[in-house]
Structure 1
Amino acid sequence: MLRQIVKDYAVVDPIVNSTLQPGGESASPKELIFHIMQDNAAKVEVLDIGFGKGNLGEMIKANAQTAHWSVDGVDGFEGSCNHPALFERKIYRNVWHGLAQAVPSDKFAKYDIICLLDVIEHMTADTARWLLRTLLTSMGDNAFLFVSTPLWFYPQHSQQSGDLEEHLIGVPASSMMALIPIMYAMNHPLIGGFVLGKRSLEFIEFFQPTSDKGFSYERGLFVANAINFQCVPGKLFKLG
């Protein structure tokens, strides 16, 4: 179930009496967002799933070329939706409290870019596969899915009650590259960011994350090197 917290930049249903703090600091190469559209001056609708502290929205609004973009956010953690300082700055147009799985699939079709930054590793393998398939199926033909995730089983546990921060899976670089991304970049320590188009739906069966906690950074790097994944932090690679 989704609960709308912000509507058209105004808080409509505030979360009160909560001691939980905004969470979800992403280590992904977020700067990829500025290279996705052919024309950043165009009207662009962005959905930020798992927006956490709102860093992606802040980055978009701070850039003169993209400040006019409309950014909506969904987050399943109460603390992230209890962030009046962020909402007062009118970074996010609409905000919903709830899991991505609860978003009606027809909502995804309105967005030009759907962002899933450091989110899928917090899901089970089956849920992650389901969500990627649903997003790719539901988004528009000319839309993009921006996904980031550690390319190994990055150990992380909960910090606050219900914060969804625990990592449940690791995603090999081979699994993401098999989705035929349009472009990708990497941040240390082996955090990959990938922009997918509609064509990636044809290859979704090759997305195979692992729940093996022994899938270490070294093993992830070995897989990345084996498929010639370019492990150059901060560099953008366009694949067409």
Structure 2
Amino acid sequence: MRQIVKDYEVIDPIVNSTLMPAGESASPKELIFHILQDNAAKVQVLDIGFGKGNLGEVIKANPQTAHWSVDGVDGFEGSCNHPALFERKIYRNVWHGLAQAVPSDRFAQYDIICLLDVIEHLTADTARWLLRTLLTSMGPNAFLFVSTPLWFYPQHSQQSGDLEEHLIGVPASAMMALTPVMYAMNHPLIGGFVLSKRSLDFIEFFQPTTDKSFSYEKGLHVANAVGFQGVPGKFFRLG
């Protein structure tokens, strides 16, 4: 892991790179404002796969959460070569590297760990391993905010090494089986799920698919079958 930003200051800039920041999550990011009972508390957030920094922007633009500390990790060099974002002091610390390389004890430092539109870029085995690792390593009162298309959303790489290709589809049944405490949806069937520590007891039921014929229509049928209420702009609390 290479640290690029420390305490809002760039300490190891990426130079001579033509790669541009990538990764714009379509997830229902506003769900993050409803996770905690007290947004006025001192909150530590880890944004895994921060891309262009949209989640950090959303958090800092809200007066109720502007004081939150947001750290970012991204495996794509272009996302870590974003001086305009770093100059605005959106992210406190930034590391260039894959989530799999983050020391597991570091996850325990955060109140909310965000994995927005990331797992669909991983292999099925890596996605299962990462969710298990995050749920195991995070603190007892922390939350894991995961978003993903609930079908095999076709997407390919646009820049060399940008990690943008989708490798799996995640049916709503796989996410609902993790017993989220709340969820929301954005079009086109992009689900956002807040998981607590209890989800670790159900991790074996997280079963993504590599079947590229798992279309939007099929994803919608599965979502309806498991009672997933896809109403854009609304969130649903389950526990």
Q: Answer whether TM exceeds 0.5 for this pair.
A: yes
Deviation per CA, 1:175-198: give whole Å up to 9, x if none.
000000000000000000000000
Partner of 1:13: 12
Amino acid at match of 1:211: T
Shift of 1:218: 0.4
Partner of 2:68: 69
Shift of 1:17: 0.3
Partner of 1:135: 134
Q: Structure 1: which 4+ aligned runs deviate by more than 6 Å?
A: none
Question: In 1, distance between residues paired with 2:5 and 2:226?
Answer: 43
Verify: 1:115 aligned to 2:114, yes or no. yes
Question: In 2, distance between residues paired with 1:5 and 1:111?
Answer: 19
Amino acid at match of 2:77: E
Shift of 1:210: 0.2
Partner of 2:86: 87
Indicate the SS of the match to 2:180.
Answer: coil
Question: In 1, distance between residues paired with 2:224 and 2:30?
Answer: 23
Shift of 1:231: 1.4
TM-score (norm 2): 1.00
Indicate the SS of the match to 1:152.
Answer: coil
Verify: 1:26 aligned to 2:28, yes or no. no
Shift of 1:142: 0.1
* Structure 2 unaligned residues grouped into runs of 5+: none
Question: In 1, distance between residues paired with 2:230 and 2:67?
Answer: 33
Partner of 2:203: 204
Question: In 1, distance between residues paired with 2:113 and 2:227?
Answer: 27
Partner of 1:217: 216
Partner of 2:35: 36
Question: In 2, distance between residues paired with 1:125 and 1:200?
Answer: 18
Partner of 1:164: 163
Partner of 2:56: 57
Amino acid at match of 1:3: R
Indicate the SS of the match to 2:234.
Answer: coil
Verify: 1:239 aligned to 2:238, yes or no. yes
Amino acid at match of 2:223: A
Question: In 2, distance between residues paired with 1:143 and 1:87?
Answer: 26
Shift of 1:107: 0.3
Verify: 1:190 aligned to 2:189, yes or no. yes
Amino acid at match of 2:114: C
Question: CA RMSD of the aligned region, Å?
Answer: 0.3
Question: In 1, distance between residues paired with 2:226 and 2:109?
Answer: 35
Question: In 2, distance between residues paired with 1:80 and 1:34?
Answer: 24
Indicate the SS of the match to 2:56.
Answer: helix
* Structure 1 unaligned residues grouped into runs of 5+: none
Question: In 2, distance between residues paired with 1:236 and 1:212?
Answer: 29
Indicate the SS of the match to 1:203.
Answer: helix
Shift of 1:228: 1.3
Matched residue count: 239
